Structure 1
Amino acid sequence: MWTPGTWMWRAAVCCVLLETLAHTARGLNMCMSGSATSCEECLLIHPSCAWCAQEDFGRGRTLTSRCDFSQNLQKRGCAARFIEYPTSSISILQNRPLSSKGSGSTQYDVVQIMPQKISLSLRPGDQTWFGLQVRQVEDYPVDLYYLMDLSLSMKDDLDTIRNLGTKLAQEMGKLTSNFRLGFGSFVDKNMSPFSYTAPKYQENPCNGYKLFPNCVPTFGFRHILSLTDKVDRFNEEVQKQMVSRNRDAPEGGFDAILQAAVCKDEIGWRKEAYHLLVFATDDVPHLALDGRLGGLVQPHDGMCHLNDKNEYSASTKMDYPSLALLGEKLAENNIFLIFAVTKRLYVIYKNFTALIPGTTVEILDQDSKNVIQLIITAYNNIRSKVELTVWDHPEDISLSFTATCQDGKPLPGLRKCADLKIGDTVSFNVSVEARSCPPRGTDQSFTIKPVGFKDRLEVAVDYQCDCGCSQIAQTNSSICSSIGTYNCGTCQCEPGYLGARCECQEGEASSMHLSACREAEGKQICSGRGECSCNQCLCYESEFGKIYGSFCECDDFSCARHKGILCSGHGECHCGECKCHAGYIGDNCNCSTETSSCISDDGQMCSGRGNCVCGRCQCTEPGAFGDTCEKCPTCPDACGTKRECIECRLFNSGRLADNQTCQRLCKDEIITMETLKTDDPGAVLCLYKTDNDCVMKFTYSEHVSGLSILAALKEPECGGGPDALMVLLAVVGSILLVGVVLLAVWKLVITIHDRREFARFQSARSRARYEMASNPLYKQPVSTHFVETDFNMYGKSYNGGVH
């Protein structure tokens, strides 16, 4: 069973407390910033605000706000009994346990919702929770009213259901031991243009219709059989029925549904039963405003209009009902409407179910053969879900639902559970919040009801908008100089009087006298941070700190901050200016004057590579870093500085040879190795010449950890000087050798060239053919050439040559 001590209620309380703490942590005290002048105004600012009604609270030059968080008021000296801090609460007035099974007796009061009555006391803005449970009990009584379209197109359906009562009672008997059945029919309004109105059709609308020549006169709605457990009566009445005929396609079914819903006594609906209304048709219904086609301008009044013949007497007087009116009346009388329609109409009636709560739609065969199975299926669907509705919901109250269905998982935002079994219990948590206060003396209430259930939860609402201290207000109180009303710790002065105790008259606080509360002409009265009372400023109290001064011009919280800390925590704020403690300077006192932290190990300020600013070194040498700029691998003097450490640490020599000095200044790690590796990109190679003309090599590198590492050779590289004579002889000899080689190469090239030319001459001479004593180079001046010619003479061709 749900009680106010469940986790949901506790979560709501925790949310309010956490919100209060969050606002306090951020310095956003909405209670004090609201400038409430009365207890009632304070309570409306925020649900976490409280009011102190103690008389002597906050006396002095400061206007102490009586509106604040409750814990703050107590810290500032307000006794707990004077604090007005109402909270929302819940009282359960009626909480009978849920029933487990229904009964066939109408006197048995079955309970399907728990609790049944509660009272809420709501403070505006304060959210609270309550819970309820709903159970579909087993063997609950069922009333089923079968409402059938008896237009001509339904004749074959009428033949099918003539024995419906017996079969339906047998099937429903498997679900409930207390079942009653009723019957009604409808056609349409007996007026033009909805029906045939000519005299020859008055008694028989089927007159002249060859297929079905005999029909009963057109009627709107006719109640035929009240709900009864004698199912044979149902069969007898159905046997007597005949179809009728209307003129247009739509029927007057909505007129019939409304009458079946509101005529409770005539239909015989039981209070302790499920009410099922089966609406069987093969066409669409007329809707509101269709009646204007026949001149019906009066809207439906939602009342029962059955005459002594159990027929709808207002069929030709009022328009068709609207969907909203149908939904309201069905819900008001706890009726589940089942649309049994043919397949082509399914989509149309499915859209109606979205507008009418508690309505389902099933597909009916053309001759209604499946009507029994349809009803059983619809009944099981109805019993498999629970959906909550809210009646008479006040506009200033906000409701939100969280459903917990059979799987036990909370579903925020839902007020419906489906896929239930008969006997299952589901729970709903309801969040309630009042957004404002109604006029005094207004009683508010609302009802939460599962769709189709007669059970409901009635909720009475009371508002926490008044303060208890207001009930003992004192008129003409001596506290208020006998010219005002003392109410909740403050004075409400009579017209013409001012001041915290009504001690001043308005003339004393005229514009001429208000200048005494201005720092200068054009300035705000009391700097906009106080009130001028009797020619002096009473400063407001601020959640940020103290406001003071003759004109409230000073405070202790408007100074410069560093990293969110006022005056960096190293000074005091006086009238908007930081007064720094010894050893600190700057607008926000964040700069330390201490320089000891900037002295490096060698006694220099920032190792000579930077300046000491606010107690920290700012390195100016490129590549220098470290707390005292002591690290700088790329600085020109880096190798020279580290050389001294190599000398004193490895060879106990140099300027730092003193052991204590060497240990103090040379803290780097030194690694010695046989061969020095110079491929480290972060290492700087250093070398120097020792006193005995040897070369010492080492590398200097800085690691990410900040550790400096020196890698040095174990011993300097030493060697003898070269012999100058030998060097000279070697150079001269090398030059001579190169000259001789070049001459030999030149001589070889010339010799090869001459031999090739002589061989070419010898070859030319051996090929020459000439007479002895003749010049082989001589050529004859005459040369002979042969020219061939071809000409035609007397038809003959001749060839000849010319020499």
Structure 2
Amino acid sequence: MCSPGTWMWRAALCCALLETLLHTARGLNMCMSGSATSCEECLLIHPSCAWCAQEDFGRGRTLTSRCDFKQNLHKRGCDPLFIEFPSSSVSILQNMPLSDKGSGATQYDVVQIMPQSISLSLRPGEQTWFGLQVRQVEDYPVDLYYLMDLSLSMKDDLDTIRNLGTKLAQEMGKLTSNFRLGFGSFVDKNISPFSYTAPKYQENPCSGYKPFPNCVPTFGFRNILSLTDKVDRFNEEVQKQMVSRNRDAPEGGFDAILQAAVCKTEIGWRKEAYHLLVFTTDDVPHLALDGRLGGLVQPHDGKCHLNEKNEYSASTEMDYPSLALLGEKLAENNIFLIFAVTKRFYVIYKNFTALIPGTTVEILDQDSKNVIQLIVAAYNNIRSKVELSVWDHPEDISLSFTATCQDGKPLPGLRKCADLKIGDTVSFNVSVEARSCPPRGTDQSFTIRPVGFKDRLEVSVDYQCDCDCSKKAQTNSSICSSIGTYNCGKCQCEPGYLGARCECQEGDTSSMYLSACREAEGKQICSGRGECSCNQCLCFKSEFGKIYGSYCECDDFSCARHKGILCSGHGECHCGECKCHAGFVGDNCNCSTETSTCVSDDGQMCSGRGNCVCGRCQCIEPGAFGDTCEKCPTCPDACGTKRECIECRLFNSGRLADNQTCQRLCKDEIITVETLKMDEPGAVLCLLKTDNDCVMKFTYSEHVSGQSVLTALKEPECGGGPDAMMVLLAVVGSILLVGVVLLAVWKTVITVHDRREFARFQSARSRARYEMASNPLYKQPVSTHFVETDFSMYGKSYNGVVH
């Protein structure tokens, strides 16, 4: 009900007081309604319950229960000296300060977790808290063992890594001054059907194989070079190696990983170093039970089986190891496993990392060209996070974690921090609750340690299950009529006797006693589930559980169930009500308060698209699905979310490229193509502009298996930068062109207009019918007048016209 914080001791008091007040407000007093007949039974009912060991407490009163809330006992007259009320506590036994650097120090000098040892005193049902801090020191020693698949398909990879040692040492030298390198190889079990077993293939499995006719015999695992700081030896040994050939596609890699992990002396693992195991292959591994195909029915024993030749001698005797065994041995020996596999099998090995703590997976080029960058990136990824693991966890102790990472914000339910830099200090608050008391004399302890660290916090546990007053018990006490034991203020009568002082014998009944056996007037005697004897109810036995209470009104089997399980198996039934263990709530305790399962890889609760209910995400964003609502192709921000993964994975740019979170946050499979297909059902097309004004195109889809797939163009579509002179010439040319066009248009309009006017003139002219002589406006230049004359010439008369 109260969450832990830095104020943990005040929080413990706050929680106890608040819970007591809540129960009181509800009218529920689980202490008095319980079945406590002794101080120890009272303490187990609830951490708020206390016991009064005062002899005369409650004498003469109707309510005589010695088990009650502490404040109630005090109000009812119990002297505080007689109140038994133990509480949980934490004692720090060893608290050395955290180290800053790892160079020049021994394994006993470097401290990466604080404190180193504490002692818990736990009262069942009561929560208490303790804190711890973790820091990854600078320049810490590193042991790297390179485990390589030497099957025939890895021949080109073998050629590539022949000078790997020197180059790798140079790169790792930038990260640590104390680096050692080793080399091992594997193929598969040399039995049918995993390998060629015919006599002609025993010495040369490649016999008759034309592309590559010569190779070495098949082997399971071979430790070629133990860890050494002489990296030239690595190159020398790799130069000598030849590939082999097996029959089926899967390899015996898990056999090799287990031997490399458990053969600590032969491999040369140092206690004071980080242990990196790089596993390179281009195919899937054989798993447990595959060995039965070859008649191997004996499970792997998890032990080292290297012979004098440094070869795995039990390869043909035992089955392949299981994932559980592999994870256990890697964690036990503080080994970080790095799967370096080809892109084709990335998803398969990615699923393995979820089952094997402390493992990562990287994509290996077909010829292992990128193996150095891959190892350095994986190492940086490992050093950028801290995750706590719990070892030898007692079943009756409940633990919950609250992480406070570099941003200082508490993250309830989380036990890991990511995006760290070397030297960053992170802290964790751990809530502890004991659910029951172990048998007396049983010592309990557990260990908390960061995954892959040698440093650890040792936690020893003792239980507050006994009352101090029980140490003063008196047998055959006169207070108990000499027929009982006086213990913690109460008589424990011999069989056959009852009463506060053992003054009655069983079977004594009278009417005056019957009223004391009814909870209220009109109610059944002893609730119908017991008989009244000597003013007390003796409850019947039931095959379903225990019936108890002053009036037999309570039992431990009538509480709510979930799937047929009482209180869902996560609580205790007290008088009809489930008292849930830490981490569970609800009427039937079926709802988990753990939120770590709802936190997505980016640190958001349900990816910001849902609510965490009972430890599971309920997605509220339309189209969102997945365990943490992380899948949502139709969400408005789907393209924007995946854009950063495209940028960092393909182009090593963007926000995620600088803080080493690309591999952690971007787990989707990315396929690069020359052209995008837009007809894929359910695929969302994303078009985003990059920083250099290019257009990035990709599609986002979800396969039936739940795996997100991003299909992107190999290169963004980028246009060339504009030429200033060309732009100027284009502008000038455009202006001239527009001017010419406008002139041409103007000339065309004028020409058309003139032609139309001329045509109109011609039409009018053709319609005129005037003759030149009859033109009224025309006057001839010569005038003609008629003059009458009369003259005679030579005796004749004439009339003439004068012009």
Bin the TM-score by the shorter chain: 0.5 to 0.7
- Aligned partner of residue 175 in structure 1, secondary structure: coil
**CA shift digits 1:232-262 (9 cap, x unpaired):** 1111111111111111111100000000000
Deviates more, 1:99-108 or 1:479-488: 99-108
Q: 1:524 to 1:662 in 2, by over 3 A?
A: same
Q: 1:203 to 1:469 in 2, by over 3 A?
A: same
- 8 Å contact from structure 2 (residues 480, 502) kept in 1: yes
**CA shift digits 1:615-666 (9 cap, x unpaired):** 9999999999999999999999999999999999999999999999999999
**Residues in 2 aligned to 1:197 and 1:649: alpha-carbon distance in whole angstroms:** 44
Q: 1:653 to 1:537 in 2, by over 3 A?
A: same
**Residues in 2 aligned to 1:100 and 1:469: alpha-carbon distance in whole angstroms:** 50
**Residues in 2 aligned to 1:330 and 1:643: alpha-carbon distance in whole angstroms:** 36
Deviation at 1:485, TM superposition (A): 0.2
Deviates more, 1:92-101 or 1:55-64: 55-64
**CA shift digits 1:445-480 (9 cap, x unpaired):** 111111100111111111111111111111001110
Deviates more, 1:501-510 or 1:369-378: 501-510
TM-score (ref. length: structure 1): 0.65
- 8 Å contact from structure 1 (residues 104, 178) kept in 2: no
Q: 1:566 to 1:801 in 2, by over 3 A?
A: farther
**Residues in 2 aligned to 1:591 and 1:55: alpha-carbon distance in whole angstroms:** 43
Deviates more, 1:483-492 or 1:673-682: 673-682
Deviation at 1:209, TM superposition (A): 1.3
**Residues in 1 aligned to 2:224 and 2:727: alpha-carbon distance in whole angstroms:** 143
**Residues in 1 aligned to 2:634 and 2:194: alpha-carbon distance in whole angstroms:** 106
**Residues in 1 aligned to 2:522 and 2:507: alpha-carbon distance in whole angstroms:** 22
- Aligned partner of residue 92 in structure 2, secondary structure: strand
**Residues in 2 aligned to 1:634 and 1:127: alpha-carbon distance in whole angstroms:** 44
Deviates more, 1:221-230 or 1:61-70: 61-70
Q: 1:5 to 1:250 in 2, by over 3 A?
A: closer
**Residues in 2 aligned to 1:90 and 1:725: alpha-carbon distance in whole angstroms:** 79
**Residues in 2 aligned to 1:672 and 1:124: alpha-carbon distance in whole angstroms:** 58
Deviation at 1:361, TM superposition (A): 0.6
Q: 1:63 to 1:530 in 2, by over 3 A?
A: farther
Q: 1:768 to 1:713 in 2, by over 3 A?
A: same
Deviates more, 1:193-202 or 1:509-518: 509-518
- 8 Å contact from structure 2 (residues 786, 800) kept in 1: no
**Residues in 1 aligned to 2:379 and 2:554: alpha-carbon distance in whole angstroms:** 77
- Aligned partner of residue 223 in structure 1, secondary structure: strand
**Residues in 2 aligned to 1:631 and 1:446: alpha-carbon distance in whole angstroms:** 38
**Residues in 2 aligned to 1:181 and 1:691: alpha-carbon distance in whole angstroms:** 41
- 8 Å contact from structure 1 (residues 139, 177) kept in 2: yes
- 8 Å contact from structure 2 (residues 784, 802) kept in 1: no
- 8 Å contact from structure 1 (residues 182, 227) kept in 2: yes
Q: 1:607 to 1:493 in 2, by over 3 A?
A: closer
1:576 counterpart = 2:563:
no
The total of aligned residue pairs comes to 803
- 8 Å contact from structure 1 (residues 63, 538) kept in 2: no
Q: 1:101 to 1:594 in 2, by over 3 A?
A: closer
- 8 Å contact from structure 1 (residues 63, 540) kept in 2: no
Q: 1:796 to 1:109 in 2, by over 3 A?
A: farther
- 8 Å contact from structure 2 (residues 33, 554) kept in 1: no
Deviates more, 1:36-45 or 1:717-726: 717-726
- Aligned partner of residue 272 in structure 1, secondary structure: coil
TM-score (ref. length: structure 2): 0.65
**Residues in 2 aligned to 1:652 and 1:247: alpha-carbon distance in whole angstroms:** 39
- 8 Å contact from structure 2 (residues 107, 271) kept in 1: no
Q: 1:794 to 1:437 in 2, by over 3 A?
A: farther
Q: 1:533 to 1:759 in 2, by over 3 A?
A: same
RMSD (Å), alpha carbons: 31.6
- 8 Å contact from structure 1 (residues 4, 130) kept in 2: no
- 8 Å contact from structure 2 (residues 33, 575) kept in 1: no
| Structure 2 gaps, min length 5 | none
**Residues in 1 aligned to 2:170 and 2:611: alpha-carbon distance in whole angstroms:** 104
Runs of 4+ in 1 over 6 A off after TM superposition: 1-5, 510-523, 526-531, 535-803
**Residues in 2 aligned to 1:445 and 1:347: alpha-carbon distance in whole angstroms:** 38
Q: 1:54 to 1:665 in 2, by over 3 A?
A: closer
**Residues in 2 aligned to 1:714 and 1:375: alpha-carbon distance in whole angstroms:** 24
Q: 1:584 to 1:265 in 2, by over 3 A?
A: closer
Deviation at 1:684, TM superposition (A): 72
- 8 Å contact from structure 2 (residues 221, 255) kept in 1: yes
Deviation at 1:508, TM superposition (A): 3.3
Q: 1:715 to 1:539 in 2, by over 3 A?
A: same
- Structure with higher Rg: it is 1
**Residues in 2 aligned to 1:652 and 1:364: alpha-carbon distance in whole angstroms:** 17
**CA shift digits 1:466-506 (9 cap, x unpaired):** 11111111100111011100011110111122111011222
- 8 Å contact from structure 1 (residues 104, 141) kept in 2: no
What's 1:593 paired with?
593
Deviates more, 1:509-518 or 1:191-200: 509-518
Deviates more, 1:718-727 or 1:527-536: 718-727
**Residues in 2 aligned to 1:660 and 1:318: alpha-carbon distance in whole angstroms:** 41
What's 1:93 paired with?
93
**CA shift digits 1:67-93 (9 cap, x unpaired):** 111111111111101000011111111
Deviates more, 1:180-189 or 1:705-714: 705-714
Q: 1:603 to 1:783 in 2, by over 3 A?
A: farther
**Residues in 2 aligned to 1:207 and 1:670: alpha-carbon distance in whole angstroms:** 40
**Residues in 1 aligned to 2:70 and 2:132: alpha-carbon distance in whole angstroms:** 32
**Residues in 2 aligned to 1:709 and 1:668: alpha-carbon distance in whole angstroms:** 6
**Residues in 1 aligned to 2:267 and 2:600: alpha-carbon distance in whole angstroms:** 105
**Residues in 1 aligned to 2:57 and 2:414: alpha-carbon distance in whole angstroms:** 48
Q: 1:781 to 1:442 in 2, by over 3 A?
A: farther
Q: 1:98 to 1:615 in 2, by over 3 A?
A: closer
- 8 Å contact from structure 1 (residues 63, 530) kept in 2: no
**Residues in 2 aligned to 1:527 and 1:353: alpha-carbon distance in whole angstroms:** 58
**Residues in 2 aligned to 1:162 and 1:719: alpha-carbon distance in whole angstroms:** 42
- 8 Å contact from structure 2 (residues 326, 356) kept in 1: yes
**Residues in 2 aligned to 1:249 and 1:663: alpha-carbon distance in whole angstroms:** 28
Q: 1:58 to 1:792 in 2, by over 3 A?
A: farther
**Residues in 1 aligned to 2:538 and 2:459: alpha-carbon distance in whole angstroms:** 48
